Chains A and B, each alone.
Chain A
Amino acid sequence: GAGVSQTPSNKVTEKGKYVELRCDPISGHTALYWYRQSLGQGPEFLIYFQGTGAADDSGLPNDRFFAVRPEGSVSTLKIQRTERGDSAVYLCASSLTGLAGRRELFFGEGSRLTVL
């Protein structure tokens, strides 16, 4: 597809369960970001990948959150032992790098996670 694709669009789970959210970035984009957006708030940075490696994971709230990008394209955000406070929209974004002027992040439509 032309844009960033995220699946599932909606996920309802029970407290304590494990969840995986998938992101398929724009083809050719080497940089990939995960953000979390709570209701009525701006997106909050979680983690940044350059290629296969997590170059900046300073936004991950605790060790229940983990993300991978094994082949430098698709990424999976993994949340263990989910808590009700994890309920939010998880946004993925990708970008080209090395452009002098434009640091544009292209966002997907997000995965809405609800923890009951």
Chain B
Amino acid sequence: QQQVKQSPQSLIVQKGGISIINCAYENTAFDYFPWYQQFPGKGPALLIAIRPDVSEKKEGRFTISFNKSAKQFSLHIMDSQPGDSATYFCAASRGGGSNYKLTFGKGTLLTVNP
């Protein structure tokens, strides 16, 4: 059972365009929703995260939109740059205690053409 479903699998965007990646989750116990960015040969790195008590969070060119009733959240990358080309993973974790175990989506390979 895949608890976090991510789409699209791959995405090609022109420089300056908007990249949008979507995720849906099933477990209503999840209360923390981060996006991780991974470059080839590197480990994932936290990009931005949101909690379900807000509907949107913006950090620079990166925005998370969150729809609690639909159990969906998305990453928007404004003014996409070639340096943004990477694999993006949405994830989710449950609250309680110190275990920050993440359940990841399958990833989206983003290519930003110059």
Q: List the interface of chain A (C-beta within 8 A of B).
A: 4, 30-31, 33, 40-45, 48, 50, 55-56, 91, 93, 95, 97-98, 102-110
Contacts and interface: CB of A to CB of B under 8 A. Distances in A.
B104 A42 contact: yes
Nearest to A59: B101
Contact of B41 (A31, A41, A91, A109): A109
Given A31-B98, A103-B32, A44 B104 contact: yes
A56 B100 CA distance: 11
A41 B2 CA distance: 12
Given A42-B89, A42-B104, A43-B104, A109 B43 contact: yes
Interface footprint category on B: 20 to 34
B84 to A, nearest CB: 19
Contact of A50 (B4, B42, B99, B105): B99
A107 B45 contact: yes
Given A4-B43, A41-B107, A45-B102, 18 more contacts: A31-B99, A31-B100, A42-B104, A42-B106, A43-B44, A45-B101, A45-B103, A48-B99, A55-B99, A56-B101, A91-B43, A97-B100, A103-B100, A104-B46, A104-B49, A106-B45, A108-B43, A109-B43
B63 interface: no
A98 B98 CA distance: 7
A97 B49 contact: no
B101 A48 contact: yes
A90 B68 CA distance: 32
Contacts of B44: 43, 91, 107
